[in-house]
Amino acid sequence: MASTQGTDASKASLRSGYLDLCKSMPKDFSRRIDSAVLSMFGRLDVYRAAQLVLFYLPIHEEIDTRPLIEDALAAGKRLALPYLDPATNKLVFYEVTSLSQITRGARGLARPPKDDATPLGEHDFLGSVCLVPGLVFDGEGNRIGYGAGYYDEFLAFYPGHTVGLVRSVQVSSNPLPHDSHDIPVDVLVTEGSIWHCRTLF
């Protein structure tokens, strides 16, 4: 696991440092790693069993999830993407059936596939898998993202499994700073391993 600056490092400094790290990776190198991460995720039992997968669109230098979206659609899975509801300032997920339906909205999140689309509700999420973005994760599943807190608010009531897709250099050997409202992921998937952070499986 890569080392952070220790447990006294602030979220802001870690966010900045790992964003710089991701941007400094040669594109060919990161693409090879990312392909291996996606391949490893495809072996995950909870993904293979899930009928619904909650994806995200990559921003900045995150792992590109679009090949996974294509694979999930080809496998007959249902998939949904997050949207920031301007009325509530909260994440809601809309089901999509093709990549052509996907357009970006605020903060790189997807727009609803159509104006009268209905967001998924909690009952839809039972037995699903949610991919959770992050710049750095630790072995307990804690993460540092972009600081808005939208995912933590959503995950506080999410009943399915949560997975972080991450390059091994973005896994910290030191505990990350976290607060009581921060929600850790259940599993980390890197290019070389699947790490169960919580005993839910």
Check residue 49 and give its pLDDT.
94
Q: Which ranges of the chain does DSSP label H, i.e. alpha helix? A: 11-24, 27-41, 45-49, 66-74, 150-155
Q: Is 9 helix (H, G, I), strand (E, B) or coil?
A: coil
- Kindly list the averaged pLDDT for each block of 10 residues, start to end, along the chain of length 201: 50 74 80 93 94 88 87 93 88 86 70 79 93 91 82 93 94 85 92 83 45
**Are 92 and 98 spatial neighbours (Cβ–Cβ below 8 Å)?**
no
Please count the other Cβ atoms lying within 10 Å of the Cβ belonging to residue 92. Answer: 19
Backbone angles phi, psi at 34, to 5 degrees: -60, -40
Q: What are the structural domain ranges in the chain?
A: 11-196
Check residue 6 and give its pLDDT.
47
Check residue 66 and give its pLDDT.
87
In sequence order, the 6+-apart residues with CB closer than 8 A to the CB of 121 are: none
CA-closest candidate to residue 56, choices 16, 116, 109, 115 = 109
pTM: 0.86
Class in CATH terms, 11-196: alpha beta
